Amino acid sequence: MQRRDFIKRAGAGALAVGGGLGVAGAAQARAEHQWKMVTTWPKNFPGLGTAANKLAALIGDMSGGRIQIKVYGAGELVPAFEVFDAVSRGTAEMGHGSAYYWKGKSEAAQFFSTVPFGLTAQEMIAWTLYGGGLELWTELYDQFGLIPMPAGNTGVQMGGWFNKEINSVEDLKGLKMRIPGLGGEVLKRAGGTPVNLPGGELFTALQTGAIDATEWVGPYNDLAFGLYKAAKYYYYPGFHEPGSLVEAMLNKAAFGQLPKDLQAIVRTACKAMNQELLAEYTARNPLALETLITEHKADLRVYPQDVLKKLRKLSDEVVADLGQKDAFTRKVYASYNKFYQDARKWSNISELAYLKARDSI
């Protein structure tokens, strides 16, 4: 009888807490923090856009519903390239993008996204977490009331879609190409014209001739955008983005209001998504590439060696010049470059040596 009385009292208490709203209502009632996440990606876009959704859902699940995050695609709450400012001023508590979009705030930000002929995805996260990169990144964003966290990587990207063949460096002169960050500066020095556009505008710009070429990510995303309908030639490798880090940025004041356990959950969820997104691209790109070639007749081309050689020379110049912009950028460049030199030696006798051996058998 005592046991029955206890169960009745417990049931009545649960009903009072839930307010008769059911399981979903009770979970919503437990939400201690209602956040907004703004992104630079089209809403629900495969890979990048859905990664933001997964991150928000993971934080909600891991926190037991104590943090609820509503995700906004580019243009829904703020335009794609205003995400940084929106999170900085507190319009949204969280943002999802890539740091090279914010070079107007600081040139050094580009090091925390990707560097032409630079670190791969595996090397990039190693520098970020174990080579001092995250500490420098945090120092930079702190000036804007933000906290950065690595939250994904696309791996090595494709060179892009072109409406003409690239047979020599001369073919890059006068070329209008959507290409952000340091890769855009490399194209500029090669005589081209870099254009920075958000993903949602690429197809129309390429189809109408507003641009002559565009890079985006790789086969998985390029197929989703239908870029094969607007250009014929599909070049590789993506020298300009060998391991592009995707970021989650947090409004520092909002993050500071979280108790320690919820802060740990947010950080851990971001780390989990860093692995998740790279795995998704590694799995989806081969299948999408096959579809592009066999069904849509994309003309797959490799950049000529003399073109790559010239682009490598220009890239080294661009990165070295960037590294001398100011005292902070010099500090970031020194850290990145030292790690790059060490990682390169190891990768050459590990990953690269293995891949060459695998393909030679």
Do 172 and 55 belong together in one domain?
A: no
d(CA 243, CA 5): 61
Q: Tens digits of per-residue pLDDT, 16-34?
A: 333 333 334 444 557 899 9
Q: Last residue of some domain: 218, 252, 283?
A: 283
Q: Which residues pair with 302 in a beta bridge?
A: 236
Do 94 and 210 belong together in one domain?
A: no
- pLDDT at residue 222 above 70? yes
The pTM (predicted TM-score) of the whole model is: 0.89
What is the Cα Rg of the chain in Å? 23
Q: Tens digits of per-residue pLDDT, 250-259?
A: 999 999 999 9
- pLDDT at residue 39 above 90? yes
Q: Tens digits of per-residue pLDDT, 67-77?
A: 999 999 999 99
* Cα 138 to Cα 247, 248, 266, distances in angstroms: 12, 12, 16
Do 190 and 180 belong together in one domain?
A: yes
Strand, helix or coil for residue 252: helix
| 14-19, Cβ contacts within 8 angstroms, sequence gap of 24 or more | none
Report yes or no on 183 lying in a domain.
Answer: yes
Question: Quick one: tokens of 199?
Answer: 């993903």
What is the extent of the structural domain holding 106?
Answer: 29-154+243-283
Residue 361: pLDDT band with limits 50, 70, 90 = confident
Report yes or no on 120 lying in a domain.
Answer: yes
Q: What is the mean pLDDT of residues 199-224?
A: 96
What is the count of structural domains for the chain?
2
Residue 99: pLDDT band with limits 50, 70, 90 = very high
Give the CATH number of the domain where residue 216 resides: 3.40.190.10
- pLDDT at residue 13 above 70? no
Report yes or no on 358 lying in a domain.
Answer: no
- pLDDT at residue 57 above 50? yes
d(CA 209, CA 188): 19
DSSP 291-358: HHHHTT--EEEEPPHHHHHHHHHHHHHHHHHHTTSSHHHHHHHHHHHHHHHHHHHHHHHTHHHHHHHH
Q: What is the mean pLDDT of residues 189-211?
A: 95
Do 95 and 84 belong together in one domain?
A: yes
Q: For residue 30, what pLDDT is reported?
A: 75
d(CA 266, CA 272): 10
Report yes or no on 119 lying in a domain.
Answer: yes
Give the CATH number of the domain where residue 126 resides: 3.40.190.170
Do 217 and 259 belong together in one domain?
A: no
Q: For residue 19, what pLDDT is reported?
A: 37
Q: What is the mean pLDDT of residues 283-309?
A: 98
Q: Which residues pair with 147 in a beta bridge?
A: 250
* Cα 189 to Cα 160, 184, 231, 243, distances in angstroms: 18, 9, 24, 22
Q: For residue 3, what pLDDT is reported?
A: 42
Q: Where are the alpha helices (DSSP H) in 143-218?
A: 181-189, 202-208
